[in-house]
Structure 1
Amino acid sequence: MSELERGERLQIMLNAEELRAVENWRFDKRMPSRAAAVRELLRRGLQSEGFTVAAEGARSGSFGVLDGDEPVTVSTPEKD
C-alpha cells in the first residue's frame, strides 16, 4: 500500500470547541484537509509522548493497560 492510501477509517466525535481548535490549527498550518490535520495532530501527539510505530506483526494483546509502573517498549520496523 502506498503512503497516500488510507486502509483504515477512524470516526471520532468532537464537541464544538474541539472542532474549532482543530479547524483553527488546520488553517494556521495550511493543511489541505481536516483529515490531514487530524492525522498530523495525532502523529505529533503520539511522538511527543514517546510512542512510535509498532513492529510489523505486533499483536493488539501486546498493548493495553499495565499494572503499576512497568516500562513499555515499542519497537519500530527496521528500514531496508
Structure 2
Amino acid sequence: MAEKTNKGNDLQRGERLQIMLDAAELRALDDFRYQNRMPSRAAAVRELLRRGLAAVGYPDFADSAGSSTYGVIESPPPDTEPS
C-alpha cells in the first residue's frame, strides 16, 4: 500500500532515511529552514542534498528549486494582478 500525504495524494518519495545530528548541525539546519521559509526539516534536508549534489557536479541537481517547490508560497503568474 502506497503512503499518502495529509491531502490523500500518493507520496512520491518512497525511501525513508534516518540521520543523527549533533546540536550545532540541527541548529544550522533549522536556521537554513527558517531563512528559506521551508515547511519542514525534511524539505530543508532535501534542498541541502540537492544543492550539495549540484555543487559536486551531479547534472540532475544543477537547477536549484524555487520557493514554490517547497509549497510555502503560491504566487500568481507575473502577468496577473493579485485579487
Q: Which runs of 4+ in 1 moved over 6 A?
A: none
TM-score normalized by the length of structure 1? 0.59
Q: Unmatched 5+ residue regions in structure 1?
A: 54-80
- Partner of residue 29 from structure 1, selected from 23, 33, 36: 36
TM-score normalized by the length of structure 2? 0.57
> Equivalent residue for 2:45?
38
Alpha-carbon separation, structure 1, partners of 2:37 and 2:22: 22
Give aligned-pair identity as a percent. Answer: 67
Q: How far apart are 1:52 and its partner, in Å? A: 3.7
Structure 2 counterpart of 1:48, which letter?
Answer: A
After TM superposition, the structure 1 = structure 2 runs for residues 1-80 of structure 1, keeping only pairs within 5 Å, are 5-53=12-60
Aligned-CA RMSD value:
2.0
Q: How far apart are 1:7 and its partner, in Å? A: 0.2
Q: Unmatched 5+ residue regions in structure 2?
A: 1-8, 61-83
Alpha-carbon separation, structure 2, partners of 1:16 and 1:52: 32
Structure 1 counterpart of 2:53, which letter?
Answer: L
Q: How many residues align?
A: 52
